[in-house]
Homo-oligomer: A and B are copies of this chain.
């Protein structure tokens, strides 16, 4: 029995080229001998490894876990594997894991809210899809932050809130820029000056967000409501308010983003702009997958949905 025949059978290219009798024999023998094809050899020969790299800044943000799950699921359905890459290349600059991997074992990259290094943008670089970030001429998948922000602001407006603060992510990034722009636009549209509102920044962890929120809540011109860039920040604000004896939503109304599990665990639970992180991850993989097949898929913007709970609705 020749190598060719075996290869044909085991890579599913048998029909029409190998008799079904031999095909069965091959499969039986393979099972019996515990044969496993060598992926490195296959990758070397065929130039494709069925693996995508996922480059990420913060693995620990709850939103990311769900995006990862979506991407991983879509990839595994397509017979691909996800390689996790820590976004440390930004620091070093030179020889990075991203570069080291780009030949041979990784077919393409998903960048999660991270900048794409120049080496991958040059001709000959592997295909890339960016998640939650836009860069000129790079395909992307992102969330509809504009729509979500508008819905949140209108909700607060309808409840009578006019002076609305913004509790911002210190992480930066386009997503948060969009939220800030939407917030400012809404205020301007209703005759308020965004520059006169109370705003503050925090990182995505409990200690920072509670501390920052405490300051915002003790501001002499405390607004009646806060738009928070994220549920983690919103939860910090609710915790700080409870601690300070400020009623939520009576004393201050709070809106977050993402509808993390956390949003239902605060007291009161959070009104929040929900996205579908699994869909985001899956869409990202699908775009990359299409590109790997030489297609030119369209960029995607995934919708948002406002979920109203106790932190605004009382």
With both beta carbons as reference points, the residue of chain B lying nearest to A60 in the complex is identified as B65
Select one of B72, B81, B105, B267 contacting A59, CB under 8 A: B72
Q: Which of A30-88 contact B (CB under 8 A)?
A: 34, 36-44, 49, 51, 54, 59-62, 64-66, 68-69, 72-73, 76, 81-86, 88
Binds B, one of A13-21, A152-160, A205-213: A205-213
Q: Does A101 touch B at the CB level, under 8 Å?
A: yes
Q: Does A147 touch B at the CB level, under 8 Å?
A: no
Report yes or no: B44 in contact with A73, Cβ–Cβ below 8 A: no
Report yes or no: B267 in contact with A41, Cβ–Cβ below 8 A: no
Q: Across the interface, which residues of B come within 8 angstroms of A61, CB to CB?
A: 65
Report yes or no: A232 in contact with B206, Cβ–Cβ below 8 A: no
Given that A81-B97, A266-B265, A266-B266 are contacting pairs, would A37 and B103 also be in contact in the complex, using a CB cutoff of 8 Å? yes
Q: Across the interface, which residues of B come within 8 angstroms of A66, CB to CB?
A: 59-60
Report yes or no: B88 in contact with A76, Cβ–Cβ below 8 A: yes
Report yes or no: B103 in contact with A105, Cβ–Cβ below 8 A: no
- Complex Cα distance A54/B83, Å? 10
Binds B, one of A176-184, A238-246, A298-306: A238-246
Interface of chain A: mostly helix, strand, loop or mixed: helix
Report yes or no: A36 in contact with B73, Cβ–Cβ below 8 A: no
Select one of B49, B62, B124, B206 contacting A105, CB under 8 A: B49
Report yes or no: A39 in contact with B103, Cβ–Cβ below 8 A: yes
Q: Does A148 touch B at the CB level, under 8 Å?
A: no
Report yes or no: B72 in contact with A84, Cβ–Cβ below 8 A: yes
Q: Across the interface, which residues of B come within 8 angstroms of A267, CB to CB?
A: 238-239, 242-243, 266-267
Report yes or no: B59 in contact with A68, Cβ–Cβ below 8 A: yes
Select one of B40, B83, B235 contacting A84, CB under 8 A: B83
Q: Does A29 touch B at the CB level, under 8 Å?
A: no
Report yes or no: B264 in contact with A102, Cβ–Cβ below 8 A: no
Given that A41-B44, A232-B261 are contacting pairs, would A86 and B76 also be in contact in the complex, using a CB cutoff of 8 Å? yes
Q: Does A93 touch B at the CB level, under 8 Å?
A: no
Q: Across the interface, which residues of B come within 8 angstroms of A41, CB to CB?
A: 40, 44, 104
Report yes or no: B62 in contact with A60, Cβ–Cβ below 8 A: yes
19 contacts between A and B (CB under 8 A): A39-B100, A39-B104, A40-B49, A40-B104, A41-B104, A43-B43, A59-B68, A59-B72, A62-B62, A62-B65, A81-B83, A81-B85, A82-B84, A206-B262, A206-B265, A207-B264, A210-B264, A210-B265, A232-B261
Residues of A whose CB lies within 8 Å of any CB of B are 34, 36-44, 49, 51, 54, 59-62, 64-66, 68-69, 72-73, 76, 81-86, 88, 97, 99-105, 119, 122, 124, 205-207, 210, 232, 235-236, 238-239, 242-243, 261-267, 269
Given pairs A40-B41, A49-B105, 11 additional interface contacts (CB within 8 A): A34-B119, A37-B100, A38-B103, A43-B43, A59-B65, A62-B65, A83-B84, A84-B84, A243-B267, A262-B265, A266-B266
4 pairs of A and B residues whose beta carbons are closest in the complex:
A40-B104, A39-B104, A40-B43, A206-B264
